[in-house]
Amino acid sequence: MIVYTTTNDYGDMPSDIRDHVEEALAGVLGSFDALLGGDVFVLEQLEELNEITVDYENGGTAADTVGPVDVAVRLSEHTLLLLITNEAGGPSYFIPNLLADHCIIVQSIIKATNGERLRLIEENA
Q: Which residues of the chain have pLDDT under 70?
A: 116-125
At residue 77, the pLDDT reads: 96
Q: What angle do CA 105, 62, 39 make, to 5 degrees?
A: 135
What distance, in Å, lies between the first and last C-alpha atoms of the chain? 40
| Tally of domains within the chain | 1
Query: pLDDT value at position 84?
Result: 87
Residue 18: what pLDDT?
Answer: 96
pLDDT for 110 equals 85
Record the pTM: 0.86
Which residue segment(s) compose the domain that 116 sits in?
2-123
